[in-house]
Amino acid sequence: MNDDGPFSYLHYYLHHRRDRDREVYTFYTKAGAPRLAAELKGIPEDILFRRPDRTGMPLLVLKASPYFSVNGKYDVLEYDGGPRVGTVHRAGNLYDDQEKVLGHISDPAPPGERVKEGMFKAVAEAVLSDDDEPVYSRPLAMLQLVVGREVAAVFQEERLPFPAPGQEEGFSAAKLLQRFLPEKAQAVVEDFIEPRSWWLDFSTEPAVRLDPRLRVAVALFHIELKRLSNHRAKSRLKFGK
C-alpha cells in the first residue's frame, strides 16, 4: 500500500447494502477490516467516497456531467468542486485528467446470457428434480478492466468470506424455510441468502500503475451500473415487460 491510504489496497471485498435512502458499498480487506465506503442516492447523483464510518468530508467525489443522459460521464474529483483526477464513462472508458484513455471496462459474459432468478422457483425445481441432477447455483457476475490489450483488473462476484454487518440480526423467512427443506433444496436457499460481495483484484502491473483513486472509482461505478441493470431486468421479468 502507498500514500493514497484506503484507495491503495490491491485487493478488496466490496459489499453492498441499502441504508434508508441510499446505496452503501463498503470496501473490506481480505481479513474483513473496512477501509473505505462509497454512498450514493442513485445515478446521476454524486457518488461520495468516505471513511468506513461515513463521517467527515468525502475523500473523493464522483460528479455526473450536466449532460450525463447524453455523454454518460462522471468526473472523479479530489473533493466537491476540487481538481479533477479523471473521468469514468458509462460505456466503459476510463480517462485521466487530460482526457487520455487509460483503459476500459468489459463484461466477459456471453451476450444475451439468460440468468435464472427467483429463489422459490429454483427451490421447487430442486425438490422435484431427480437426485442425479446438479443443484442450481446462482451465476456469478464478472467485470474486467482492460488496459491496452491486457486484462489489468478483475471484478468477480463471490461469497463474502466473513459475516456481513448485521447479518445475524432480525428474522429471515428464507432461513426459517430452509430448516424444513430437503438437503438439495437447502443448498439452493443458502446460495440465495448468503451475503454476496465483489472481489476486486488490482494486483497486475498495469493496474498498479493506475492512480489508485481512479481504479477504485471505475470499479465502483460499473458495479453499481451492473446492479441497476440486473434490477431492471428482474423487474421486466416480474411484470412481463
Task: Convert the pLDDT of each residue in 45-97 to its tens digit.
Answer: 999 999 999 999 999 999 999 999 999 999 999 999 999 999 999 999 999 99
pTM for the model stands at 0.79
Position 7 pLDDT exceeds 90: yes
pLDDT greater at residue 126 or residue 194: 194
Q: pLDDT per residue over 111-170, tens digit each?
A: 545 444 454 455 445 444 555 555 555 567 999 999 999 999 999 999 889 887 765 554
Q: Are 3 and 11 in contact (CB under 8 A)?
A: no
CA angle 218, 219, 223 (to 5 degrees): 115
Spatial neighbors of 69 by CB under 8 A, at least 6 apart, are 44
Contact present, 210 and 148 (Cβ < 8 Å): no
With the CA atoms of 143, 145, 150 and 153 taken in that order, what torsion angle do they form, in degrees rounded to the nearest 10?
-80
User: Within the chain, how many helices (H) and strands (E) appear?
Assistant: 6, 12
Model confidence at 175, pLDDT cuts 50, 70, 90, reads: low
